Amino acid sequence: MRKKIIGLTLSPLPFALSSVGTMLFAFCSSAVAQQPQKVPRIGFLSLNSRSSTATNADAFRQGLRDFGYVEGRNIVIEWRYADGKSDRLPSLVSELILLEVNVIVTSATAPAHAAKQATSTIPIVIANHNDPVGAGLVASLARPGGNATGLSNMQIELGGKRLELLKEVKRVSRVAVLQIPSAPATPPQMKEIEAAASSLGVRLQPVGWETAKDLKTAFSTMIKGRADALITFSGPRFGLYRTQIIDLSTKNRLPAMYPDVVYVESGGLMSYGAKTTDLFRRAAVYVDKILKGTKPADLPVERPIKFEFIVNLKAAKEIGLTIPPNVLARADRVIK
């Protein structure tokens, strides 16, 4: 039926269609708004075991929480550990790629290279690395290029400071340097510590090892060479045989300076280096920026901003060493 209003004939049909269209638009808009957003998936790849990585993993989680990411709620973390077996890394990376992770977080050379070789598209955040430029993982610190970026721990640059602290703890004239000759980071680390030794009047005794069975021979060489103390370089293999190195240092009563606090917490004498947990916490900053659209190539590699000097008095007592009060006063933490 048509209605006449002041000479005009109106039909209810256009109004009906308009109402239906409005309802459909509102329904569709509501449906789109209610669609759940895809939860970001992060791959965490470590050469070491879950237990030995726990502290750094917790620091990474805390860093994510600072940006509002809570594991299991609005972000998923796929944890993969090689348990010290580097040959497992390629398959673990493949698993992460099949899971379509948005970012892969790694530390050290081996897992970073495994990730880099497996993908050129998935962003890679290296949380803790000696020399990402020298290892060929990034083009430069300022402009990484490619799909990898992250944080350098400055292990190479800190060799001189470690030697200086070691000399303050004990008057030394000859210091053994435990190193892995085949490791790419060995030449630059050695060059740095040689420069410091020259200015401090210390003679260095480079002692190499490659496998666990070489360690006893290496320490026998130090003792025969009348080393007063020991400095160890850093790297995955050092971490894998950390307990044996600490035990041999104690057995031979050699004051030892280590590159990371985990050695001191495991019974070693002292360490000086970048605060590793802070590096892993800061790795979350990179993850957040990448998830929000920034390309890894546009995120400069950053250096540490927090360092820590740790002394273990119990370890000192075991080798009959008294730590001078002025050195203890400089320590960030003293383990008793």
Does the structure show a pLDDT above 80 at 28? no
- Mean pLDDT to the nearest integer, 126-134: 91
Mean pLDDT of the chain: 90
Does the structure show a pLDDT above 90 at 179? yes
Distance CA 292, CA 309 (A): 36
**How much is the pLDDT for 112?**
95
Paired tokens of 199: 């200015």
Q: 227-268, pLDDT tens digit by residue?
A: 999 999 987 788 889 999 999 999 999 999 999 998 999 999
Does the structure show a pLDDT above 90 at 8? no
**How much is the pLDDT for 21?**
53
Locus of tokens 């040689």: 194
The residue with greater pLDDT, 34 or 166, is 166
Paired tokens of 182: 């085949």
**How much is the pLDDT for 32?**
47
**How much is the pLDDT for 4?**
46
**How does DSSP assign 194-208, residue by residue?**
HHHHHHHT-EEEEEE
**Residues 169 and 162 sit within 8 Å (Cβ to Cβ):** no
Distance CA 323, CA 320 (A): 10
Does the structure show a pLDDT above 70 at 333? yes
**How much is the pLDDT for 323?**
96
Could you tell me the pLDDT band of residue 22, with boundaries at 50, 70 and 90? low
The pTM for the full model equals 0.82
Q: 70-99, pLDDT tens digit by residue?
A: 999 999 999 999 998 899 999 999 999 999
**How much is the pLDDT for 121?**
97
Could you tell me the pLDDT band of residue 36, with boundaries at 50, 70 and 90? low
**How much is the pLDDT for 5?**
43
What's the distance, CA 268 to chain centroid?
A: 21
Closest CA to 286 of 48, 55, 60: 60
Does the structure show a pLDDT above 50 at 7? no
Does the structure show a pLDDT above 50 at 143? yes
Could you tell me the pLDDT band of residue 109, with boundaries at 50, 70 and 90? confident
User: Dihedral of the CA atoms 117, 121, 127, 132 (nearest 10)?
Assistant: 50
Q: 293-321, pLDDT tens digit by residue?
A: 999 999 999 999 999 999 999 999 999 99
Does the structure show a pLDDT above 50 at 3? no
For a pLDDT cut of 90, what percent of the chain falls above it? 77
